[in-house]
Structures are given as structure tokens and as C-alpha cells.
Amino acid sequence: MEAENGEGQVQVRLKTKQEQYAVPDVPYTIEGNVTTADLNTFVNTLLEQAAISSGESNSPIEFDFIVIDEYLRGRLCDHLREKEISFEDTVDIEYVERFPAPEPQDCLLHDDWVSAVKACDKWILTGCYDNTINIWTVKGKHVLTIPGHTQPLKAVAWVSVDDESGKFVSCSQDQTAMLWEWRVGTNSVECVSVCKGHERGIDCVDVSPDKSRFATGSWDTMLKIWSAEINEGGEGTSKRAKESGTTRVPRITLQGHRESISSVQWMDSSTLLTSSWDHTLKIWDLHLEGIKSEISANKSIFDASYSNLNHLIVTASADKNLRLYDPRTNQGNLVRNTYFGHSQWVQTVMWSTTEEYLFISGSYDNQNKLWDYRSPKAPLYDLLGHGDKVLDIDWSNPKYIVSGGADNTVRVFKSRKAVPSERMDEDK
């Protein structure tokens, strides 16, 4: 029976998808007031007993525990009460190895606010309020400063990069997007095209999966699609025209938002996701050149990220919270979860490209946070370092979390879930 203070006993089954950490699949009777720390001790004791009986040894593992699709963050009895689960039922508890804390690496100093960051392979691209673009290595070495825009940068994106050359897009409050070609060997860069068509500052950019196009969203409320090809006019483009930076016009212009578009992302080769200050998310079909579906929110949305691993959308908002949406549902405002932890506007958010449950956020409270979407009450980790508001965050390279802020810095955190061989290659 449950004691009046909620600290009776509960029968549980312990399950894991990580077979190397499996314990006997039998019911265990435990105290209702156990916490994650108590369960960690219990599971590690069971694993140690199994190791001793087979003549092996093992070191303790840090686990997180999932009860009714949500991480346990307090006492088990409180969690069960909140979920309205009877203490007389046998409760399934899933345990997973805890994702290790990302390690702070380098601090990349700029002359003004860093409002745009994007990593690719061993390179980091940054956009700054001093109107420049910068290229860095993930090890923190400055490679190149690129002038060209006449107002602050708001977004950057790699089209492609290898050991010989790179191609990227930059977007600015000067109403233009610029397509650049970078020769790695000579460390020289040229503007291939200046993309004109927006009537107000451009706030966001994303490159299509096949790298042939990119999309921009602007304060003029328009979504525009552009060619990312170097020789858009064909092979006959003259060297002089190329050197001077030819003007490029959009291939498609899409209208539907009522206020500024704050983020844009290709969900697949013909589908785009946008978020806006008009409190909506919109999913666009390029074949139809129109809106496929819309999700309404109750606040301005400053950023949105779609995951190809779990097909969910997470949003950053003006009310300090992050929200999880499932675009496959038919109801227009169905929020799967709300994530509490930031104390100011959440400016930027992005899913991991390799870990289906994880995403990162950056806020005006100067903090980055790493989340598991099954843990709405608290982030896994706070990534500290910025001395002012965080303006952009990126996890395009699975090994590095990179963020830019109003403290004129880029902070680099190493994600420690690299296999040993990768770690060795990187540290050479």
C-alpha cells in the first residue's frame, strides 16, 4: 500500500534498448521516493553482480530513466502521480546511457555581434554586425575576413566545401544575399552573384538537399527561391561578369506570411518550413508554389527546426519557451510538449542531425541548452560561456555545437559522443 506521504513501494520492470546494459527482465520492488541517482545505483549494482558472476569487471555507467515517455526528474512517486499511474500497477522504466556533456573548446573573437554561424566539416562560417563574413577552422584558427555587405549579416549557409574549394551564401540587412566561391588553396574568395529582390532585410537562409538552390526569408514577409549554381547563365558566363558579381533574381517568390520570416528550412527537395513573427509555421509545396499546411502559435516564433530523424518540429519563441510540434497531425495547434528553462526570449534552436532525441537552443539569457525532447522539465546540460545574448546556434557538424552572440564571440563546444577512432583523427 502507498504511504500517506507518497513514499510507498512500487513494482517496476527495468528495460533498455542498449543490450550490453540489460538486466534480468523480472519485476523489482523499490521505494516510491527513489530518484534518478537511486535508480542509477540500483541498475549499476545489478550490472556489477552480473559481471562478477561471469568473471568480468565493469565501471559504473551514468543512466537517465524514462517513465511514461518522459525523463524522470524528481521522485518516482511524484512522477507517477502527475501521470495518474496507480502504484498498484507494474511500471516499465526504460534506462538509457546519459549523453555526455559537451566540452567547451574555443572562443572566436569578432569585432561586433555574431548573428550567424554555420559549420561544415572542419570549417566554421560566421556573419557579423560589422558587415563582414569570417571563415574559421573548428580548432579556432581564423582563416579569412570577407567584406562586401553594407549592413549587418543575419544569416550564412554553406552550399558545399571540400579541400579545394567552398561555396556559401550570406544574407544581410542590406536586402541582398551574396553567393561566394572560396579557393581554399590560395585562400581567396570572389562574389559570384548578388541576389536582389527582397525589399527589406533578409533574416534567414537554407540550401536545398541537392545543393542546387537556396531559400531566403525576409522582413518583407516574402520567401524567395534562388539558383545556387555558379554559372546560372550557362558555361558562357564571362570572367569579367563573374568577377564583378552578377546580379541574380529569384526563381520563385512565395507570399503568405503577414510579418517577418524568421527561419527557413528545406524539409525535402520540394518542401520548405518557415517560421514567422506572425505567430505561424508554414509548410510550403514548391510544386504547387503555395502553402501545404500551417501551424498556429500564440507568440512570435524566432526560429524553427525540423528533424529528418523523427519528423518533428521544435520552435523558439518570445515567451521564453520551446515547443514541439508534429506536422503529421491534422489539428492546427497541437503542441506535443513545452520546454521550460530559459529565462528570456529563445532566439535560436536546432535539432541534432545524428541523435534523434536531442536539440539545442540559444537565448537572450546568455545561455545555450542541450535538450532531450523526452525531458520537458529540464535540459540535459547548460552550455555556458557567452557574456551576452545568444543570437545563433548550429549543430550541422555532429562533433561541434557552435554559437554566436552579442558578446562578439563564437563559442565552440565539442560533442563527446564521437567514436574513439574519430576522436583520434581529430586530435592529430
CATH of the domain at 283: 2.130.10.10
3 falls within a domain: no
Q: Are residues 134 and 89 in the same domain?
A: no
1 falls within a domain: no
416 within 8 A of 380, measured Cβ to Cβ? no
Question: How long is the chain?
Answer: 428
Q: Are residues 259 and 157 in the same domain?
A: yes
Which of these, 387, 422, 355, 410, lies nearest to 135 by C-alpha position? Answer: 410
pLDDT greater than 90 at residue 427: no
pLDDT band at 331 (very low <50, low <70, confident <90, very high): low
pLDDT greater than 80 at residue 2: no
Q: Are residues 166 and 38 in the same domain?
A: no
pLDDT band at 231 (very low <50, low <70, confident <90, very high): confident
Query: Over the chain, what is the mean pLDDT?
Result: 91
Q: Are residues 321 and 413 in the same domain?
A: yes
Contacts of 54 (CB under 8 A, 6+ apart): none
- What's the CATH code of the domain at 62? 3.10.20.90
pLDDT at 38 (0 to 100) = 96
Q: Are residues 163 and 251 in the same domain?
A: yes
Q: Are residues 208 and 350 in the same domain?
A: yes
pLDDT digit string, tens, across residues 74-103: 999 999 999 998 888 899 999 999 999 999
292 falls within a domain: yes
Q: Are residues 124 and 242 in the same domain?
A: yes
Last residue of a domain, one of 97, 122, 142: 97
Higher confidence at residue 6 or residue 237? Answer: 6
pLDDT at 129 (0 to 100) = 98
pLDDT at 328 (0 to 100) = 87
Higher confidence at residue 88 or residue 238? Answer: 88
2 falls within a domain: no
pLDDT at 421 (0 to 100) = 34
The helix (H) or strand (E) run that includes residue 339 is: strand 335-339
Report the side by side order of strands in the sheet with 133-137. 114-120, 123-128, 133-137, 142-146
pLDDT band at 245 (very low <50, low <70, confident <90, very high): low
**Interval 37-42 mean pLDDT:** 96
Segment among 17-21, 330-334, 419-423 with least mean pLDDT: 419-423
82 falls within a domain: yes
Higher confidence at residue 332 or residue 403? Answer: 403
Q: Are residues 48 and 108 in the same domain?
A: no
Domain that holds residue 162: 103-427
pLDDT band at 416 (very low <50, low <70, confident <90, very high): confident
Q: Are residues 117 and 50 in the same domain?
A: no
Percent over 70 (pLDDT), the chain:
92
CA distance 304 to 261: 11
| C-alpha cell recorded at residue 29 | 520492488
**Interval 331-351 mean pLDDT:** 90
275 falls within a domain: yes
pLDDT at 54 (0 to 100) = 79
pLDDT at 233 (0 to 100) = 57
| C-alpha cell recorded at residue 322 | 520551446
Which residue type, as a one-letter code, is found at position 215?
A: A
As for how many domains the chain has, the answer is: 2
**Interval 18-32 mean pLDDT:** 93
Q: Are residues 74 and 114 in the same domain?
A: no
pLDDT at 205 (0 to 100) = 98
Q: Are residues 111 and 259 in the same domain?
A: yes
Last residue of a domain, one of 97, 119, 146: 97
pLDDT greater than 80 at residue 315: yes
pLDDT greater than 50 at residue 428: no
Q: Are residues 262 and 165 in the same domain?
A: yes
353-359, long-range: CB < 8 A, 24+ apart: 353/308, 353/309, 353/395, 353/396, 353/398, 354/309, 354/398, 355/99, 355/309, 355/398, 355/417, 356/307, 356/309, 356/310, 357/310, 358/99, 359/305, 359/307, 359/314, 359/322
**Interval 340-368 mean pLDDT:** 97
Report the side by side order of strands in the sheet with 358-363. 346-351, 358-363, 368-372, 381-383
pLDDT at 235 (0 to 100) = 44
Segment among 91-100, 125-134, 252-261, 329-338 with least mean pLDDT: 329-338
4 falls within a domain: no
pLDDT greater than 70 at residue 244: no
pLDDT digit string, tens, across residues 146-195: 999 999 999 999 999 999 999 999 999 999 999 999 999 999 999 999 99
Last residue of a domain, one of 97, 112, 134: 97
Higher confidence at residue 56 or residue 355? Answer: 355
22 falls within a domain: yes
pLDDT digit string, tens, across residues 369-383: 999 999 999 999 999
